[in-house]
């Protein structure tokens, strides 16, 4: 009897061990969309492998896991997904939708996976030398073609497209229709051309206000400098992204987003149309009085606006509109600094004209006009005034000829000048060829400093007009002077990252801090070839270093760059210790080891003398916050 009882106890223990769940917390498995998905844990049983996932959900966006998703190891073995478990009651091939931003927990269920070796999990996604599951192949991850609309929203249809054309200049026609559209829902939509879809920084000069018909149709024509993203929005909301290419319209690709219904319609809001003041400006243009420059054209446009009877509102306002007032104060520009003509204009009631003229007066030409570089860029970009006089003699004749002969190109949305400039390369094709060659030379110099004094460069420059030769030569001299100045700086050092075992990038942070133990460490990750990172470094890190020169602080700069020359030319501006990353996963490992998860490409960390992290942020922070933290822990040099 006792022996039987002992057998039953042993059998029960064995069965319990077989059915026991082994849970691995935060396994080092990376995803292609790391900002959206995070693997919290892996549960291993004799019946299933369960991946506990966290999805960083964006508002009003749905996602879906397909039924053909695979879990794959380095030997090529695959396990198909069995099911999906979520608190929303959704399964495979079903939309999971969250109206508000937040985290969604889901559990992906796969067959039992043998030989799960945690030590062999690969951070980089490349097959390690030994067996082990190294990643999840999300072949079936499906995102929405159209964001699920909020209540009362008008959505747009997708337009079929041809393959992306290789176009630099031309005019594009964009047509579309709003679904579920009710008369009176919207009067206009706003189209913004911008250099980048992710850096929404369009100004009024590159803004087109498109009227909507009673049945929801809209159509617009716009100049394109190259195949570039275009966004539609209403009062600052992004509605669609499309790639505009010259006619015909079948080559326009539109990827749609949701359109939100405005809270209320404003009478007279964006009421300027083709029959308005700018149409009158084109008709009243006098050939016998050619306009010599952009400033005179702007003044002529202002005078036409002010004197035209169709424009003057019935209820003039003495105060600035809120949108203009906010933009002025954001740039510390006061009303008294504006020109008299603009001050008079701002008393009127038409907000489209106010924004357009304000942007012309204070901001110059928009970014997408400046992209072309060369003659047009140098002549009209106010931030490059030093080039205006050198380039102007080369283009004045052609510019004036175009301006006097192409009056019909004056366009309300672009205030005439921007539209005319966009047509310039089409009307004068030689500009296009010279500009392409000049930009190519400039980019080559930026990538390879050894070409600064090469014979090949001199020969290539000789084929360009004089204005372009001056442009390239000036850039070459600036680079040469910068390299000479950098060679005299001795307050910075460049090191290689410490050695860590394979697939252990999370140990890099600890190894770096060990080198400077006993000192206060300020460590940050930055990207020297991204404008936002460079601006953050100039406005935050550089002032801090000057302010705390007398304090014993080890300034450690970790750079994720894709251009070594661009990175090295900025090193002397940042005293301290510089480390370049050699793979894209090294910064991810450091950020995960400090923050617990990877949410951003930035990292700002302060480590005290004992090696304890006393401050950490994974997003750009302000100067005051960092200054207070450094004052709290930093000590003056002995």
Q: Please say if the pLDDT value at position 109 is more than 60.
A: yes
Q: How many residues belong to the chain?
A: 638
Whole-angstrom distance between the N-terminal and C-terminal Cα of the chain?
81
Rounded Cα distance between 505 and 498, Å, is 10
CA distances from 462 to 431, 470, 514 (A): 16, 11, 54
149 found inside a domain: no
Looking at 160-169, 189-198, 305-314, 627-636, which range is the least confident one? 160-169
CATH number at residue 549: 3.40.30.10
Highest mean pLDDT among 97-106, 384-393, 473-482, 532-541: 473-482
pLDDT of residue 302: 44
Are the C-beta atoms of 268 and 276 separated by less than 8 Å?
A: no
Q: Please say if the pLDDT value at position 635 is more than 80.
A: yes
Q: Are residues 276 and 414 in the same domain?
A: yes
Q: Are residues 542 and 607 in the same domain?
A: yes
Which of 386, 406, 425 finishes a domain? Answer: 425
Q: Are strands 141-143 and 70-73 parallel, antiparallel or unpaired?
A: unpaired
Averaged pLDDT for residues 523-544: 74
Q: Three-class SS string for 105-174?
A: EEEEEECCCCCCCHHHCCCCCCCCCCCCEEEEECCCEEECCCCCCCCCCEEECCECCCCCCCCCCEEEEE
Q: pLDDT by residue (tens digit) across 344-360?
A: 434 432 333 333 333 33
* 509 band by pLDDT with thresholds 50, 70 and 90: confident
pLDDT of residue 155: 32
Q: Are residues 413 and 505 in the same domain?
A: no
Centre a 10 Å sphere on the Cβ of residue 294 and count the other Cβ atoms it contains: 20
pLDDT of residue 632: 87
5 found inside a domain: no
Helix 385-405 vs helix 466-487: angle between axes, to the nearest 10 degrees?
160
pLDDT of residue 424: 38
Q: pLDDT by residue (tens digit) across 27-68?
A: 655 454 445 667 788 888 877 888 888 776 655 556 677 776
Q: Are residues 582 and 618 in the same domain?
A: yes
517 found inside a domain: yes
Query: What would you measure as the largest C-alpha separation in the chain, in angstroms?
Result: 121
Averaged pLDDT for residues 605-627: 80
pLDDT of residue 153: 30
Look at the chain and report how many structural domains it folds into.
5
Residue with tokens 């366009």: 411
Looking at 56-60, 141-145, 271-275, 415-419, which range is the least confident one? 271-275
Q: Are residues 385 and 444 in the same domain?
A: no
Q: Which two tokens stand for residue 519?
A: 């000192």
Q: Are residues 446 and 322 in the same domain?
A: no
391 closest CA partner among 452, 462, 472, 477:
472
13 found inside a domain: no
CA 148 to chain centroid: 23
Q: Are residues 406 and 382 in the same domain?
A: yes
* 463 band by pLDDT with thresholds 50, 70 and 90: confident
Averaged pLDDT for residues 79-87: 76
Q: Are residues 472 and 502 in the same domain?
A: no
- Residue with the larger pLDDT of the pair 320 and 24: 24
> Residues of 34-47 as b/e, b for ≥16 C-beta within 10 angstroms?
eebbbbeebebeee
Highest mean pLDDT among 219-223, 336-340, 403-407: 219-223
Q: pLDDT by residue (tens digit) across 173-227?
A: 555 555 445 555 555 554 444 322 222 223 333 445 566 677 766 666 554 433 3
State phi, psi for 261 to the nearest 5 degrees.
-70, 135
74 found inside a domain: yes
DSSP result, 39-56: EEEEEE-SS-EEEEEEEE
- Which segments of 284-384 does DSSP mark as H helices, in order? 294-307, 322-330, 340-345, 351-363, 367-370, 374-380
Rounded Cα distance between 181 and 296, Å, is 43
Percent of the chain residues topping a pLDDT of 90: 0
What is the enclosing helix (H) or strand (E) of 217?
strand 217-224
Cβ neighbours of residue 524 closer than 8 Å, sequence gap 6 or more: 541, 556, 557, 558, 602, 603, 604, 605
Which of 93, 114, 140 finishes a domain? Answer: 140
* 92 band by pLDDT with thresholds 50, 70 and 90: confident
Q: pLDDT by residue (tens digit) across 618-629?
A: 765 667 778 888
Rounded Cα distance between 342 and 298, Å, is 10
Q: Are strands 78-80 and 155-156 parallel, antiparallel or unpaired?
A: unpaired
305 found inside a domain: yes
Rounded Cα distance between 307 and 305, Å, is 6
CA 614 to chain centroid: 31
Q: Please say if the pLDDT value at position 582 is more than 60.
A: yes
* 422 band by pLDDT with thresholds 50, 70 and 90: very low
Q: Are residues 406 and 460 in the same domain?
A: no
What is the domain extent for residue 294? 271-425
Share the mean pLDDT of the chain: 55
Q: Are residues 419 and 282 in the same domain?
A: yes
Averaged pLDDT for residues 391-405: 38
Q: Please say if the pLDDT value at position 364 is more than 60.
A: no
Averaged pLDDT for residues 530-542: 70
- Residue with the larger pLDDT of the pair 481 and 291: 481
* 143 band by pLDDT with thresholds 50, 70 and 90: very low
Which of 393, 408, 425 finishes a domain? Answer: 425
* 110 band by pLDDT with thresholds 50, 70 and 90: confident
529 found inside a domain: yes
Q: Are residues 309 and 392 in the same domain?
A: yes
Q: Please say if the pLDDT value at position 454 is more than 50.
A: yes
CA 414 to chain centroid: 24
Q: Are residues 124 and 164 in the same domain?
A: no
261 found inside a domain: no
* 327 band by pLDDT with thresholds 50, 70 and 90: very low
Q: Which two tokens stand for residue 289?
A: 């009085």
CA distances from 163 to 196, 252, 257, 297, 350 (A): 20, 9, 21, 40, 41
Rounded Cα distance between 618 and 606, Å, is 12
């Amino acid at each position: 009897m006792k022996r039987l009882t002992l057998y039953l106890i042993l059998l029960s223990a064995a069965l319990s061990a077989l059915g026991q769940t082994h849970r691995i917390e935060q396994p080092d498995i990376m995803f292609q969309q790391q900002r959206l998905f995070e693997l919290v844990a892996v549960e291993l049983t004799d019946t299933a492998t369960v991946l506990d996932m966290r999805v960083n959900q964006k508002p009003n966006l749905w996602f879906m896991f397909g039924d053909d998703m695979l879990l794959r190891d380095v030997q090529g073995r695959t396990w198909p997904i069995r099911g999906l478990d979520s608190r929303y009651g959704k399964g495979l091939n079903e939309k999971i939708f969250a109206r508000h931003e937040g985290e969604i927990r889901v559990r992906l269920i796969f067959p039992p996976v043998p030989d799960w070796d945690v030590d062999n999990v690969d951070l980089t996604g490349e097959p390690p030398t030994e067996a082990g599951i190294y990643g999840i192949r999300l072949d079936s991850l499906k995102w929405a073609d159209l964001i699920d609309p909020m209540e009362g929203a008008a959505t747009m249809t997708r337009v079929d497209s041809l393959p992306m054309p290789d176009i630099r200049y031309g005019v594009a026609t964009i047509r579309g229709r709003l679904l579920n559209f009710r008369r009176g829902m919207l009067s206009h939509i706003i189209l913004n051309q911008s250099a980048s879809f992710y850096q929404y920084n369009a100004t009024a000069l590159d803004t087109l206000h498109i009227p909507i018909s009673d049945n929801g149709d809209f159509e617009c024509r716009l100049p394109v400098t190259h195949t570039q993203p275009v966004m539609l929005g209403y009062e600052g909301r992004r509605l669609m992204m499309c790639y505009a290419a010259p006619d015909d319209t079948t080559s326009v690709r539109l990827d749609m987003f949701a359109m939100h219904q405005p809270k209320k319609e404003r009478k007279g809001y964006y009421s300027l149309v083709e029959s308005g003041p700018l149409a009158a400006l084109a008709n009243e243009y006098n050939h016998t009085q050619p306009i010599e420059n952009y400033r005179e054209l702007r003044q002529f446009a202002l005078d036409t606006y002010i004197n035209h009877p169709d424009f003057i509102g019935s209820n003039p306002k003495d105060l600035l509109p809120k949108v203009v007032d906010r933009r002025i104060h954001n740039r510390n520009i006061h009303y008294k600094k504006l020109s008299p003509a603009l001050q008079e204009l701002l008393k009127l009631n038409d907000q489209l004209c106010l924004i357009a003229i304000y942007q012309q007066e204070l901001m110059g030409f928009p970014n997408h006009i400046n992209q072309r570089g060369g003659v047009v860029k140098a002549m009209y970009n106010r931030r490059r005034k030093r080039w205006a006089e050198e380039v102007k003699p080369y283009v004045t004749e052609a510019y004036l000829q175009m301006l006097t002969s192409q009056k019909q190109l004056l366009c309300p949305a672009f205030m005439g000048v921007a539209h005319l400039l966009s047509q310039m390369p089409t009307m004068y094709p030689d500009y296009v060829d010279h500009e392409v060659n000049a930009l190519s030379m400039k980019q080559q110099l930026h990538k390879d400093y050894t070409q600064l004094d090469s014979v090949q460069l001199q020969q290539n420059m000789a084929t360009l007009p004089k204005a372009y030769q001056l442009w390239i030569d000036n850039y070459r001299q600036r680079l040469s002077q910068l390299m000479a100045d950098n060679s005299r700086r001795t307050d910075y050092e460049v090191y290689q990252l410490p050695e860590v075992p394979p697939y252990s990038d999370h140990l890099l942070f600890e190894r770096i801090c060990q080198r400077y133990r006993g000192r206060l460490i300020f460590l940050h990750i930055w990207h020297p070839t991204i404008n936002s990172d460079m601006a953050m470094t100039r406005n935050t890190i550089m002032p801090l270093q000057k302010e705390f020169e007398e304090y014993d602080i080890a300034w450690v700069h970790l750079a994720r760059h894709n251009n070594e020359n661009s990175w090295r030319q900025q090193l002397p501006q940042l005293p301290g210790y510089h480390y370049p990353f050699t793979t894209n996963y090294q910064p991810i490992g450091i950020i995960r080891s400090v923050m617990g998860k990877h949410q951003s490409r930035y990292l700002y960390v302060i480590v005290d003398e004992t090696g304890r992290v006393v401050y950490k942020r994974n997003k750009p922070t302000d100067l005051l916050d960092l200054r207070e933290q450094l004052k709290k822990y930093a000590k003056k040099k002995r």
